[in-house]
Chain A
């Protein structure tokens, strides 16, 4: 079984620039998550999709962050404009069925550095 694919692996941008991350979940996984992990912290959920609908985006800074999963498969997360405090690893995860408490399967993440 192929894992969760994310790209790019690393990205360095200047503040006020924009950036986009891409995620392809495990085939057949209906639920997709974007997490932000700041150095020294645990992953923090930004947004959760069930198929192509948003289940939870309560911690997504909507003035600068946006995410979509148009066809219910792959997803993009965008930051525009970026701030220094957005430097973090952005992790995408997927699971089979949210209500089953099926474990999250994470991708390797995108490490973003904002200078």
Chain B
């Protein structure tokens, strides 16, 4: 039973354009959402997060949008740069903060020159 779903295994975007990575969740108890970025042979690194009391959080080129009614969040990267090529994991944390963070399967983003 996958509680955090990233339905696109991969995505290719032209350099300079907008990259949009999507994530759906099923558990209404989740109230905190995170995006991690992973390069090959390295551990995931934290990118950006959003609390369920917000619908948008922005940090430089990265913006995360949360639609609670649709149980959907997305990560926008604009403009996309070659160094953004990586695997992006969506993760969610429930209201009971002793419970574990659940990760999606990841989306591999390719930025094309």
Interface residues of A (CB under 8 A from B): 4, 40-45, 48, 55-56, 91, 93, 98-99, 101, 103-109
Contact = CB atoms under 8 A, between A and B. Distances in A.
26 contacts: A4-B43, A40-B9, A41-B105, A41-B106, A42-B4, A42-B6, A42-B89, A42-B104, A43-B44, A43-B89, A45-B100, A56-B99, A56-B100, A93-B43, A99-B97, A99-B98, A101-B32, A101-B49, A101-B93, A103-B49, A104-B36, A104-B44, A104-B101, A105-B46, A106-B36, A106-B43
A114 B37 CA distance: 27
A109 to B, nearest CB: 5
Contacts of B32: 101
Interface of B: 4, 6, 9, 32, 34, 36, 41-46, 49, 89, 91, 93, 97-101, 103-106
Contacts of B104: 42
A101 B34 CA distance: 10
